[in-house]
Amino acid sequence: MSPEENKPTDFIREAVAEDLRTGRYTYVRTRLPPEPNGYLHIGHVKAFMIDYLIAKENNGELILRFDDTNPAKEETEFVEAIKEDARWLGIEWVKETYASDYFDLLYEWARTLVKKGLAYVDDQTPEEVSKNRGTLTEPGKNSPFRDRSVEENLNLLERMKNGEFPDGSRILRAKIDMAHPNINMRDPAMYRIIHEPPHHRTGDKWKIYPLYDWSHGQNDSMEGITHSLCSLEYENHRPLYEWFLDQLGVFKPRQIEFARLNMNYTVMSKRKLRRLVEEGHVNGWDDPRMPTLRAMRRRGYTAEAILDFIRRVGVAKNYSVTDVALLEECVRDDLNKHALRRMAVIRPLKVVIDNYPNDLVEEMDAVNNPEDPSAGTRKVPFSKVIYIEQDDFRETPPPKYYRLYPGNEVRLRYAYFIKCTHVVKNDAGEVVEVHAAYDPSTKGGDSPDGRKVKSTIHWVSATHAKQAEVRMYDRLFTKEDPEEGEEGFLACLNPNSLEILTGYVEPHLAAPEVGSRFQFERLGYFCADRDSTPENPVFNLTVNLKDTWAKLEKKAK
RNA sequence: UGGGGCAUGGUGCAAUGGCAGCACACCAGCCUUUGGAGCUGUGGAUCUUGGUUCGAAUCCAGGUGCCCCAGCCA
């Protein structure tokens, strides 16, 4: 397939191409407009990649502009976190700016509108403003302060700026139409008074702060942004976006809206994510069960996989909820090609090979990655006593069960064929030890007589294995849409979303580099966690392998 | 009962008046020293009613459903 055919196309890219063709714009410049009041999550990635890629595909530029118009909610800590996450995704920007960089110019532009009789200071209380806005079906009422003179408005605005009035006592409003069917056009607020806390960049210089509608489009214009791409809920704001720019007579970017990313089995709103963290339902913003980028990174997701996911989701205006299974498939797809294979037993069951010499240790050759021959091979020690997965043994096998059971022969991966001879049980009647006999002629896993086994299972040598903590993760919520229903999203938290196991890993996994990713054969992909110590390596389940047997077994029930 | 937007298999996205296709999921099979990976195949969709047209997912009209908007949040 040629790169041409591979290029994604969607209604935004078509609109941008059209604008270039018709000469509406001669270049492309987009902006990334995060508000520094939280950590980035998977939903942001879609918006980020649209902005970044559309600029890049058109030899254009991307400006990273922090939307810091509300000192009550924003912090510098988030600025650094957002940049770190964006860089991890591979996003590049030509310039880092802040809405607050433009406060002076924006104030001048506000004065311009006042002078043109298009903005006024309103002394109504917030309650009165709200009441007089009207409803969806009824028009609003004009403010009694709507027709003040330009001089008085200029004077009042200046004094608002200087901090002469308390919070909430006055606002600057655009003078448009209180009867407009679009409520955003009913004399929207432009500036509000906020004395505390100080702004994270401008300190206590300003006592008035612009609202989104007054700030965003003007900043876009000042920066020469050609395409201001945002989510669907801003569609109703576009008339206002254009009104300001038209009245000012300044450079006019084009706002285009698309559907934001939603995913099932998770929540994406900052408020809800904060509750999960603050109420201790998860262990912080980077808990691997969270949909934040730092959580996904810690869990072992690669940037490549996340970007592939975003690409596969596409861009449209349909409200949509993407299946998290697609994300997981993208992660597997990437890790399958790159992760080194290792053997680890996470729910150990002891196996004694009675006819294997007591003190013999053999080094078995094991392939590091069948998808990538250049990854080479390694030696794995084998001895008389090993651990296998509890799931890989049944005393009485169900139909279609191919693994170890009394009388059955299986292959130990890269080692020998073994046949189960008998078991040892505890007082409770549980199998605590399996005994088996091996066939010395099958070393490496091939039988010279052409004999077949139906199953290959993984193992670790008991005396050589390293004990490790393995954190198994499942979906955070049990319902596809956690927000649906009366009880709220916390009511469907999955009580089993984290299970901590103590397993055994092969010697090559004893001291993993934090963040390194492996496939534990037949189990899934795992990532070494930063909680690892030399005594206790810790692995996070990134994503499980597809498990045909588990599916079969589930269906049989 | 105002305004803005959106309707294509289970899910997400294509088809820009000319054979409704891709991915994920699902199902069946092949292959396999991972019940992994890979490969092959099956089933399943144009919200509805009418109209224009040789021909409609696409154009027109009506209907229905869903989403967004009444913050001095973004």
Mean pLDDT confidence for A493-512:
97
- Give counts: helices (H), strands (E), chain A: 14, 25
Helix (H) or strand (E) holding A6: helix A3-6
* Per-residue pLDDT at A191: 98
Q: Is the CB of A169 under 7 A from strand B?
A: yes
Q: Is the CB of A399 under 7 A from strand B?
A: no
Share above pLDDT 90 across residues of chain A, in percent, rounded to a whole number: 96
Q: Is the CB of A181 under 7 A from strand B?
A: yes
Mean pLDDT confidence for A328-342:
98
Cα angle A125, A130, A134; round to 5: 140
* Amino acid sitting at position A311: R
Indicate if the pLDDT at residue A49 is higher than 90: yes
Name the residue with tokens 């002394």: A123
CA of A264 to C1' of B24 (A): 14
CA of A552 to C1' of B30 (A): 19
Mean pLDDT confidence for A204-211:
98
pLDDT band for A555, please (50, 70, 90 cuts): confident
Task: Give the C-alpha separation, A67 to A50, whole Å.
Answer: 18
* Per-residue pLDDT at A100: 98
* Per-residue pLDDT at A488: 87
Q: Is the CB of A145 under 7 A from strand B?
A: no
Q: What is the pLDDT of residues A247-274, one digit of tens each?
A: 999 999 999 999 999 999 999 999 999 9
Q: Is the CB of A127 under 7 A from strand B?
A: no
Q: Which two tokens stand for residue A64?
A: 């990273």
CA of A238 to C1' of B48 (A): 32
Mean pLDDT confidence for A68-90:
95
Instruction: Give chain A residues 459-498 with Cβ within 7 A of strand B.
Output: none
CA of A213 to C1' of B65 (A): 31
What separation in angstroms does the CA of A114 have from each of A171, A176, A193? 13, 12, 17
* Per-residue pLDDT at A3: 37
Catalytic residue among A13, A73, A141, A260: A260
pLDDT band for A541, please (50, 70, 90 cuts): very high
Share above pLDDT 70 across residues of chain A, in percent, rounded to a whole number: 99
Catalytic residue among A13, A35, A84, A480: A35
Catalytic residue among A141, A146, A159, A270: A270
* Per-residue pLDDT at A1: 31
Residue A1 Cα to chain centre, angstroms = 30
Q: Is A350 a catalytic residue?
A: no
Mean pLDDT confidence for A436-464:
97
Q: Would the ipTM clear 0.90, i.e. be above it?
A: yes
Q: Which residue is nearest to nucleotide B70 (CA to C1')?
A: A135
Task: Give the C-alpha separation, A465 to A411, whole Å.
Answer: 19
Minimum-distance nucleotide, CA of A315 to C1': B13
* Per-residue pLDDT at A268: 95
What's the length of chain A? 557
Indicate if the pLDDT at residue A110 is higher than 70: yes
CA of A431 to C1' of B63 (A): 67
Q: Is the CB of A124 under 7 A from strand B?
A: yes
Average model confidence (pLDDT) across chain A: 96
Instruction: Give chain A residues 195-254 with Cβ within 7 A of strand B.
Output: 209, 211-213, 216, 232-237
Return the minimum-mean-pLDDT range out of A90-104, A138-152, A405-419, A484-498. Answer: A484-498
Chain B nucleotides close to protein (CB under 7 A) are 1-8, 10-16, 23-27, 33-38, 66-74
Indicate if the pLDDT at residue A5 is higher than 50: no
CA of A541 to C1' of B59 (A): 52
Instruction: Give chain A residues 27-66 with Cβ within 7 A of strand B.
Output: 33, 35
Q: Which residue is nearest to nucleotide B67 (CA to C1')?
A: A319
Handedness of CA A434, A435, A437, A443 (dihedral sign): positive
Cβ-defined contacts of A423-426 (< 8 Å, 24+): A423/A395
Minimum-distance nucleotide, CA of A327 to C1': B24
Q: Is A270 a catalytic residue?
A: yes
pLDDT band for A4, please (50, 70, 90 cuts): very low
Mean pLDDT confidence for A356-381:
97
* Per-residue pLDDT at A217: 98
CA of A550 to C1' of B22 (A): 29
* Per-residue pLDDT at A6: 53
| Residue A102 buriedness (CB in 10 A; 0-12 / 13-18 / 19+) | buried
Mean pLDDT confidence for A481-500:
91
Mean pLDDT confidence for A145-172:
98
Q: Is A92 a catalytic residue?
A: no
CA of A37 to C1' of B12 (A): 30
